[in-house]
Amino acid sequence: LGKGCEGTFVYRGEFDNRKVAVKRLLPECFNFADREVSLLRESDAHPHVIRYFCMEQDRMFRYIALELCQATLSDYVEGKCNTSAIKPLEILKQATLGLAHLHSLDIVHRDIKPHNVLLSLPDKR
């Protein structure tokens, strides 16, 4: 799915018969991963914050399973996804509610940008 900072890669995976995004982190990022998982667990209950499922590790990597979203705000703005599925005002409202929830828990995101605003779009039926 992509590459993050510090050698982090994101792959598609499956957890409990559900499609997920799996972040693979290098050992030098383990402290960061532990902090991220702690924050994800704390904020997980809100409908506009990404869902956390589990963390596993082996000798080489740590893996974090997260909700798989269909697009980013960057994709939406660039027309790379179904822009009729959700209106811009609704995206802004939901992102603001999610961010407000994080702030209510004294969590500061510190990297809000279109690529990091994830969108779950309705399934096409």
pLDDT tens digits for 52-74?
Answer: 999 999 989 999 999 999 999 99
Phi then psi for residue 18, to 5 deg, are: -130, 140
Say whether both 17 and 7 belong to one domain.
yes
- 4 and 51, same domain (yes or no): yes
Q: Which is nearest to 32 in space by CA: 48, 8, 2?
A: 8
Determine the Cα–Cα distance for residues 15 and 13; give it in Å rounded to an integer. 7
Cite the DSSP H helix spans in 1-125.
30-43, 73-77, 88-104
Dist CA 81 CA 43 (whole Å): 27
The one-character DSSP state at 84 is T
**Mean pLDDT calculated for residue range 29-37:** 80
Q: How many domains does the chain have?
A: 2
Residues 15 and 32 in one domain: yes
Q: What distance in Å separates the CA atoms of residue 51 and residue 33, rounded to the nearest whole number?
A: 15
Model confidence band, residue 3 (pLDDT cutoffs 50, 70, 90): low
CATH assignment of the domain containing 24? 3.30.200.20
pLDDT at 12: 92
At residue 1, the pLDDT reads 58
Are 64 and 120 members of one domain? no
Residues classed as catalytic: 111
Q: For residues 78 and 107, state if they share a domain.
A: yes
Which domain covers residue 51, as residue numbers? 1-68
Across 80-100, average pLDDT: 92
Whether 54 and 107 map to the same domain: the answer is no
Identify whether residues 115 and 58 lie together within a single domain. Answer: no
Q: Which band of pLDDT confidence, cut at 50, 70 and 90, is reported for residue 19?
A: very high
Same domain flag for 21 and 41: yes
CA-based R_g, the chain, Å: 15
pLDDT of residue 125 exceeding 60 = no
CA pair distance 115, 53, nearest whole angstrom: 21
Q: What is the pLDDT of residue 117?
A: 94
